[in-house]
Structures are given as C-alpha cells and as structure tokens.
C-alpha cells in the first residue's frame, strides 16, 4: 500500500492521489493540478496551459515541459499520444512570456527604431548640408546667360553682371519694363518682382530697296551707268553704288544700325539696290537714310509690315 507524499492519503491509483489531487508525472509526484489554474509559476514551472496540440482545452506543464495530463471542461484525463506528438515536433518546451516582459520588449524595439531613425536623419541632413548649393546669384545668372546663348554679347563676366544689374536699376527708378532677351534673364535673377510685367522686345529683319531713276537718259548725260547686268549711279549720282552706307537712327538721332547697298540691278533707266538690316522695337521712330540722299521715318510696325522702299530721280 502506498501513501501520498503530500496529504498522506492512501493511493488507490499509481498516477494520481484522489484525496489531494497530486499527480505522478514521469515517476515524480507533484501537487494538485487544481492549485495551478493560471500560467506556470516562475518558481516551479508547473501549471495548466492551452494544449499546444489543439487536441484538448488544456495540458498540464511541469518545469516548462508538457505532460500527458489534459483536461476538457474541468474533466482531467491522460493523453500520452499528444505528449508524444509534442516531443516529436520539438515543441516540448513552451516558453511563458509575461505581459510585463512583452511590454518591455516592445519599448526596447521602439527605442531602437527611433534611435535608427534619428541617426539616419542626422546623416541625411549632414549630406545635404555638405552638398548644398554654394553658388551665388551672379554665378547662376552667368550660367543662364551661357545656356541661353547670350554670353557672347559681353566682353567679360563682370561686364555681363554689371549690365544685368543696371537693367534692374533702371526699372526700379521708373524706367520701362522692357528689354532684350538677355535682359529678361537679368530680371529673373536680380529683380524678380518685374518678371510678370517685363516685355521682351522683338527684333525683326527688314528688307529694303533704293531705286535710282533716269527718265531722260542719253549718251551725253546719264544718271545710271550700266555694266552688263549690274548698274550704278553716274554723274551727279556717282555716290550711289554698292557699298553706299544705309544708316538707321532713332528719333533722338542715335545710330541704331548701319548696313550697305548691295550690287545694283537694272538698266539705263532704272537701277535698284537692295539692303537688309535688323532692328529692335522700343524706339519712337526709325529714320532710314542712304548715303547723303535724304531720309525717311518709320514706326516699328511699318518697318515690320512693309520694309523700306526709297527712290531717287
């Protein structure tokens, strides 16, 4: 006859004490399973846990190891097969993590992630600072001039910058908000407040002609000298020939551009010389003269629409 080591009662069953509920697991007796209704205690590691096999509601653990003692609806029984499955699948050891431990791990992970983010942000910030744009407004203006093909209009970078700033200064002092395409670049970089109202002046190529007439041509007194298919002025008109200067001035008498007559075409009674020049809008008048043979005045719209047609004789 055997007796329970916990309550001293007689053991009618070699696996369990019906007096106090102690159980025999692997030849070792343990206190009643009913005293461990929660997770295994940290000291003994004995208690009920959900059955990892899913075969029953709960399985009794001793020292963190599953036993073959199970229960369903408060009724206990033995399930050696389930225990064997756990041992075979390598799930004999079931770790029990307390809520405090889980919370601690979460906070540690969050802190680590935050530290990584801070370090990455600092590295990115340092990289951006090192690689920041260190060019000046003058540098960016000169680069834009070169990209636009305007840098050739100035004899030096310093001259280009000085001109660009003078354009802005004139507008700031009340001057007209207009200028050449290169001036528009200056406005974009040195006085952007005028960008919206700035007008880029148009440049047009004007075609002109100068015709010398001689209705009374004769062998003794002719205003036109003919040489094959070309012709030129003669006698009192000998100053009219290819190469005679054509000057364009504004209303103030300032020379805007100069070009020259091309080779004359025609005969004894009429000789026509062609010429072309580029002119930019923005002037009050455009006064065109051929040599010393008088002058005619045009508006920009008139020049662009009809060109220049001058005649003499």
Average pLDDT over residues 301-310: 94
* pLDDT band at residue 44 using 50, 70 and 90 as cut-offs: low
> Has residue 89 got a pLDDT over 80?
no
Residue 262's pLDDT is what? 97
Least confident range from 102-106, 155-159, 194-198, 302-306: namely 102-106
Is CATH 2.60.40 what the domain over 203-312 is classified as, yes or no? yes
CB distance 162 to 139 below 8 Å:
no
The partner residues of 200 in beta bridges, in order of sequence, read: 179
pLDDT, one tens digit per residue, over 91-108 is 444 444 445 556 677 878
Determine the pLDDT at residue 20: 63
Instruction: Give the percent of the chain with pLDDT over 70.
Output: 83
* CA distance linking residue 215 with residue 229, whole number of Å: 19
How much is the pTM?
A: 0.51
220 band by pLDDT with thresholds 50, 70 and 90: low
Q: HSE of 251 in the Cβ direction (CA atoms, 13 Å)? A: 8
Say which range, 1-15, 257-271, 292-306, has the weakest mean pLDDT: 1-15
In this structure, how many other beta carbons lie within 10 angstroms of the beta carbon of residue 23? Answer: 21
Domain boundaries, the chain: 137-200, 203-312
Predicted local distance difference test score (pLDDT) of residue 235: 87
Of residues 268 and 13, more confidently modeled: 268
- First vs last Cα of the chain: how many Å apart? 157
The CA–CA distances, whole Å, from 279 to 110, 205, 244, 299 equal 72, 6, 19, 11
Sheet holding 308-312, edge to edge: 224-227, 230-233, 264-266, 270-280, 203-213, 308-312
pLDDT, one tens digit per residue, over 136-178 is: 999 999 999 999 999 888 999 999 999 999 999 999 999 999 9
Mean pLDDT, range 217-223, rounded to an integer: 73
What pLDDT was estimated at residue 179?
Answer: 92
Average pLDDT over residues 180-191: 94
Task: Return phi, psi of residue 172, to 5°.
Answer: -65, -25
Identify the band that residue 24 occupies on the pLDDT scale cut at 50, 70 and 90.
Answer: confident
Q: Is the pLDDT of residue 77 over 80?
A: yes
Report which of 37, 14, 36, 11 is spatially closest to residue 24, judged by C-alpha positions.
Answer: 14
- 228/144 Cα distance (integer angstroms): 53
Mean pLDDT score, 28-51: 62
Asked which of 122-126, 183-187, 242-246 is least confident by mean pLDDT, the reply is: 122-126
């Amino acid at each position: 006859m055997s007796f329970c080591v916990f309550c001293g009662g007689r053991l009618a069953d070699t696996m369990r004490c019906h007096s106090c509920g102690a159980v025999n697991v692997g030849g070792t007796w343990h206190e009643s399973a009913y005293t461990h209704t929660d997770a295994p205690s940290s000291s003994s590691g004995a208690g009920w846990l959900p059955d990892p096999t899913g075969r029953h509601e709960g399985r009794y653990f001793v020292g963190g190891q599953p036993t073959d003692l199970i229960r369903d609806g408060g009724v206990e029984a033995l399930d050696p097969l389930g225990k064997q499955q756990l041992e075979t699948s390598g799930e004999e050891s079931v770790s029990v993590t307390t809520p405090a431990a889980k919370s601690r791990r979460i906070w540690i992970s969050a802190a680590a992630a935050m530290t990584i983010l801070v370090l990455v942000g600092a590295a990115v910030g340092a990289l951006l600072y090192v690689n920041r744009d260190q060019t000046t407004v003058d540098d960016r203006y000169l680069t834009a001039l070169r990209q636009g093909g305007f840098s050739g209009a100035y004899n030096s970078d310093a001259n280009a910058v000085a001109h660009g700033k003078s354009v802005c200064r004139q507008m700031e002092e009340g001057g007209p908000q207009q200028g050449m395409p290169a001036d528009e670049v200056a406005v974009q970089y040195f006085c952007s407040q005028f960008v919206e109202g700035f007008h880029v002046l148009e440049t047009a190529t004007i075609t002109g002609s100068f015709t010398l007439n001689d209705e009374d041509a004769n062998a003794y007194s002719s205003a036109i000298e003919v040489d094959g298919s070309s012709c030129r002025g003669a006698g009192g008109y000998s100053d009219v020939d290819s190469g005679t200067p054509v000057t364009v001035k504004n209303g103030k008498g300032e020379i805007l551009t100069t070009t020259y007559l091309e080779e004359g075409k025609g005969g004894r009674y009429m000789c026509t010389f062609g010429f072309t020049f580029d002119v930019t809008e923005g002037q009050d008048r455009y006064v065109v003269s051929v040599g010393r043979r008088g002058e005619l005045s045009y508006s920009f719209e008139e020049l662009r629409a009809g060109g220049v047609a001058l005649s003499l004789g």
